[in-house]
A and B are shown apart, each in its own frame.
Chain A
Amino acid sequence: MKRAALSVALASAFAFSSVAAADDATTTTTPAGGARRVAPLVPSLDMTANTDGSTTVRLALDLIIGLSSDWDFELTPTFMTNTQNGLGGLFNFSGGAPWTAGLSIAFLDLAPQPNGPPTAAVLDVKREAWNACRQICQPGVAANGCERFSSSLQPVDTSPEDLCDAGQKIWLEKYDRQLREVRGRFPKHVVGLGGALGSSQFTYLASDVSSFGAITNVDVAPAGSRLPLSVHTENDLEGRAALSYAYVSTERPFSIELPLTYRYFHTAQTQTTTFCTPSQNVITNAPSDPNSMPTIAMGQTCQTLPLGAPTATHEVAIAAYFGYVNKPDGFWRFGVGPSIDWQHIINGQASADRVALTIQSPIYLNFASAPKSWAGDFKGVVVLTPTAGVSVGTFGTNWVANVSIQIFARRSIFPRGLEWIF
């Protein structure tokens, strides 16, 4: 969980409607209803720019499959990448942009089904479905499900099973699936698990003993530090894993979130060396008088590269956030709780550890929602996270105090699985 991040998320709020429409197109006269959402598949694109200059992009597809009346299964294939050189470096594929491919899964225990007498929404949709059937099912018509429809029953007394095909389709689309989306906005329990693997490419300067075997002869170069450097390029493994649990009370606006994340990543050395090679000469003062002599300077091409192989870091972070949720609108929520972030940094033969103990309070502000025709969630959210604490380790003790800002757009205001790593 990287702090001090400025995230920019781009996601097409209209894309899901086309996806949903495509999904509906497959509906036949025998609708497959029940545990389905209005929009089972939504895309999301997440762009993150950190204050340290690195940038992260996350592309994901969020697929939800109904397991039963109360449980949904979420599958989120994710591609993510980051660079230390700003947005432009993300798409420099020849330079080995560190793309990471991963998958998150989550089990969602939906909010309870409503009890009580038929609500106005139930009656409205049933009336619409019933009217559609009454129009289609004229006397003598026994097709299109009319054989089971009886106009002598009032809409409120008509079970979905008794509607004609068109009526059942209206019922499933306008009530049943919408209600499932509503119940999925604040699931009672969500368990998420995710993992991603990829590689990052580093170019650096290091001594190459095998190439300079003659020079390493002690008679020629007794001082090891005088070994010449050569340019190395290597691909390093990047790994991410996350396990998360979220609880949202159905009776009260209260939530608990427990994310546990792991990252294995490489970082370029901060110490650099600049080296130059001769290039074409340069005329520095182009003379206007043909008889005067031009000034010619010797050209050099210089390059600055990190000195030494990149460091490898294992990072484990765990947090517990206790929060308030603005329900049912979900316009805002906040959490507060402790976070422990442990880093084990390997630099060649040496290693160092750092542990940060902080209190964080992420505040989520929803600035964009899905169209009202869809009861589900697809939110654009700004997250402000004040952090205060202490960092202890091999490098000494430091106080930590910062505020991060993040913007994202996705199905839920509650992060799941790999969404906890940014």
Chain B
Amino acid sequence: MKLSLECAADDNSTVVTGEVYAHPVDDTARPIVNMVVARNSYSALFSLPAGSWVYHFHVEGAGGQLTLTLKDLDDNATPIASKIYDTRFGYYGKVFLFAVPA
């Protein structure tokens, strides 16, 4: 399935950077998709099969509040998952869990 990860942030300099892993993640996990980077007006595009996935990322730039939204590009960009983050709780260790339907 073709997917788009969008980032809507308070500040245009805010960037999210990370990798997508198969969920659950263990100590030996290797990223399925590397360098998943998104910001305002710049979405990350990648493909994943149906299943449970997790995006481990950190925030760069000015920070503030940001919303990640995963959209299904095969289905008119229908949102699959969305979550609000805030750098008040730090820049690191962010987790975005999502499931890709069959």
Residues of A participating in the B interface, judged by any CB pair closer than 8 Å: 30-35, 68-70, 113, 115-118, 122, 126, 153-154, 156-163, 168, 171-172, 175-176, 179-180
> Do B88 and A122 have beta carbons less than 8 Å apart?
no
Given contacts A113-B60, A176-B93, contact A157 B88 (CB under 8 A): no
> Do B85 and A159 have beta carbons less than 8 Å apart?
yes
CA distance A176 to B89 in the complex (A): 8
Residues of B within 8 A of A115 (CB): 17-19
CA distance A31 to B86 in the complex (A): 11
Closest approach, in angstroms, between the C-beta of A77 and any C-beta of chain B? 27
Closest approach, in angstroms, between the C-beta of A121 and any C-beta of chain B? 10
> Do A118 and B91 have beta carbons less than 8 Å apart?
no
Q: Is B33 an interface residue (CB 8 A)?
A: no
Among B18, B19, B54, B93, contact of A160 (Cβ-Cβ < 8 Å): B93
> Do B93 and A171 have beta carbons less than 8 Å apart?
yes
| In the A-B complex, the 10 residue pairs with the closest CB atoms | A176-B90, A34-B87, A160-B89, A159-B95, A69-B60, A33-B90, A68-B62, A69-B91, A160-B90, A113-B58
> Do A31 and B89 have beta carbons less than 8 Å apart?
yes
- 1/0 contact string of B1-38 vs chain A (CB within 8 Å): 00000000000010001110101110001110000000
CA distance A70 to B94 in the complex (A): 17
Given contacts A69-B60, A115-B19, A117-B21, contact A159 B96 (CB under 8 A): yes
Among B19, B31, B62, B95, contact of A157 (Cβ-Cβ < 8 Å): B95
Residues of A within 8 A of B87 (CB): 33-35, 69
Residues of B participating in the A interface, judged by any CB pair closer than 8 Å: 13, 17-19, 21, 23-25, 29-31, 54, 56, 58-63, 83-97
Among A113, A154, A168, contact of B24 (Cβ-Cβ < 8 Å): A154
Q: Please, could you name 17 A-B residue pairs with CB atoms under 8 Å apart, sorted by A?
A: A31-B89, A33-B90, A68-B13, A68-B63, A69-B60, A113-B58, A115-B17, A126-B93, A157-B24, A157-B95, A157-B97, A159-B83, A160-B90, A163-B89, A168-B89, A176-B90, A176-B93
User: Which of A69, A118, A122 has the most C-beta atoms of chain B within 10 angstroms of its own C-beta?
Assistant: A69
Closest approach, in angstroms, between the C-beta of A66 and any C-beta of chain B? 9
CA distance A172 to B88 in the complex (A): 9
Known: A159-B85, A159-B94, A161-B89. 11 other contacts (CB 8 A): A32-B88, A33-B87, A33-B90, A34-B91, A70-B61, A113-B58, A156-B24, A157-B97, A161-B84, A171-B90, A175-B92
CA distance A115 to B54 in the complex (A): 15
Closest approach, in angstroms, between the C-beta of B19 and any C-beta of chain A? 7
Closest approach, in angstroms, between the C-beta of A236 and any C-beta of chain B? 46
Residues of A within 8 A of B88 (CB): 30-34
